[in-house]
Amino acid sequence: MSLNIPKNIIVIIPARGGSKRIKNKNLAVVGGRPLLAHSIIAAKQSKHVTRVIVSTEDEAIAKTAKEFGAEVITRPAQLASDDASSESALIDVLDQLEAAERYIPELVVFLQCTSPVRRIGDIDRAIEQLVSSGADSLFSACRNHGLIWQDNHGKIDSLSYNYHKRKREQQMEVQYRENGSIYVFSPRLLRDTNNRLGGKIAVYEMDFLSSFQVDNPDDIKLVDWVMQQPGYRTSQSWPGQLSLIIFDFDGVMTDNRVYVDKSGRESVLCNRADGLGVKQLRALGIELLVASTEKNPVVQQRCAKLQLDCFQGLDDKKQFIKDYLTKHQIDAAQVAYVGNDTNDLGAFSVVGFKIAVADSHPAVLAAADYITSRRGGRGVIQEISNQLALIKQ
């Protein structure tokens, strides 16, 4: 049975600048991208969503939102305080859209930056569930198997079960823990109730690993680990065939720092694990080379050690790659480029697959097809080789 999915579905992502427990929380790097970016990318991957809007009062957040392809609506300062509700920010976006464009969406999808782990298709499946169930609103949740107790004015009571008649877990009633990841509702419901939930409420069930939130510094490490697991990264697809991988040097094979002694000689820090990565990629039949803007003997020495073809002093990497592929008759669709800074964007534009290291410039992260979980100089080549080896199995 085909569903009558509304044609105008908007995603709203409130992202204020103030954060007490984690400074600049919405821009903290998690899973290789700013926290905000994961919600934007998930929204833009949806086949049902027609617009993605970030509501913020913060210039840095607004800039990052635009870099990752979202529209930005400036939120009044009074709606960005610690006490302001998310609902007030959502209604403000709807008010501004209606006043400026006479635009009224049929459905609103509310995504919270602090719940960044969503599998591809989660948003679309949540929308489809709302429509198919005839519900007025929907929230995402995971099953709750915990035995929860509540402090009731000094008296401790069992909340999620009756401790007098303790049941085995599989015998307990189904309970859900709201995970804050996805909410879907109509603008009318939001305005009438001043609440994201109301009327007939549906639950979109997500798994346990998709339900972690970033509220404290330790949560960043936990969610970062989750987003390194297969199926949980924001972008996971690799091309069916790779003939050549081109690596930038500084910031990819190094941590982008340079050490200078008193005589002016420079040295860099590399990772031995990359040697194993190079060996494994060659075993997979993939050609490798280094293309570097910098011209430095240390680049040549490291590439010689790894037996990598090395091209230095390239003012225009884009043109170099185009010429190289033409000369060697290599299909650009079968070429990957690994970079980290804005001078790599030209190279990105002429290859089939774009890889950014975890600590890349935001513009590079936004343009990448894949982002490594490792930072530059921390074994990036080994991570890429491990990923491709898994795919080949």
264 and 185 share one domain? no
Residue 75 maps to a domain:
yes
Assign residue 318 a region (left: φ > 0; alpha: ψ between -120 and 50; beta: otherwise): alpha
Residue 71 maps to a domain:
yes
DSSP 332: G
Written as one string, the DSSP assignment of 351-390 is SSEEEE-TT--HHHHHH-SEE-SSPTTSSHHHHHHHHHHH
- Give the CATH number for residue 307: 3.40.50.1000
298 and 365 share one domain? yes
Q: Distance between CA 96 and CA 102 in Å, rounded?
A: 9
What phi and psi values does residue 181 have, to the nearest 5 degrees? -85, -50
Residue 87 maps to a domain:
yes
133 and 249 share one domain? no
Q: Distance between CA 168 and CA 149 in Å, rounded?
A: 17
State which residues form the domain around 56. Answer: 9-144+172-226
Q: And the tokens for 273?
A: 């694990």
The model's pLDDT over 160-211, given as tens digits with 9 standing for 90+, comes to 778 788 877 677 778 888 999 999 999 999 999 999 999 999 999 999 888 9
Residue 236 maps to a domain:
no
Cβ atoms within 10 Å, residue 218:
9
Residue 335 maps to a domain:
yes
The model's pLDDT over 70-106, given as tens digits with 9 standing for 90+, comes to 999 999 988 888 888 999 999 999 999 999 999 999 9
77 and 204 share one domain? yes
Rg (CA), the chain: 24
DSSP 187: H
177 and 292 share one domain? no
77 and 196 share one domain? yes
The model's pLDDT over 253-278, given as tens digits with 9 standing for 90+, comes to 888 787 777 777 777 787 888 899 99
325 and 218 share one domain? no
140 and 275 share one domain? no
141's enclosing H/E stretch is strand 137-143
- Give the CATH number for residue 198: 3.90.550.10
Q: And the tokens for 339?
A: 């970079």
Residue 156 maps to a domain:
no
The chain-wide mean pLDDT, for the chain, equals 88
217 and 248 share one domain? no
CA end-to-end distance (rounded Å), the chain: 37
Domain boundary among 199, 226, 253: 226
278 and 383 share one domain? yes
Beta bridge partners of 98: none
Residue 161 maps to a domain:
no
Is 161 exposed, middle or buried (CB count within 10 Å of its CB: 0-12, 13-18, 19+)?
middle
What phi and psi values does residue 175 have, to the nearest 5 degrees? -125, 150
- 137 close to 199: Cβ distance less than 8 angstroms: yes
Q: How many domains does the chain have?
A: 2
203 and 93 share one domain? yes
Strands 244-247 and 287-291: what pairing? parallel
Residue 166 maps to a domain:
no
184 and 140 share one domain? yes
Tens of pLDDT, residue by residue, the chain (393 residues): 578 999 999 999 999 887 777 878 888 888 777 899 899 988 988 889 999 999 999 999 999 898 888 999 999 988 888 888 999 999 999 999 999 999 999 999 999 999 999 987 899 999 999 999 999 999 999 988 777 888 888 888 888 778 788 877 677 778 888 999 999 999 999 999 999 999 999 999 999 888 988 988 889 889 888 887 766 766 545 777 899 999 999 999 888 787 777 777 777 787 888 899 999 999 999 999 999 988 888 888 899 999 999 999 998 999 999 999 999 999 999 999 999 999 999 999 999 999 999 888 888 887 888 888 788 998 999 989 887 876 665
For the sheet containing 107-111, what is the strand order? Answer: 71-74, 51-56, 9-14, 107-111, 176-185, 137-143, 201-205
pLDDT at 97: 96
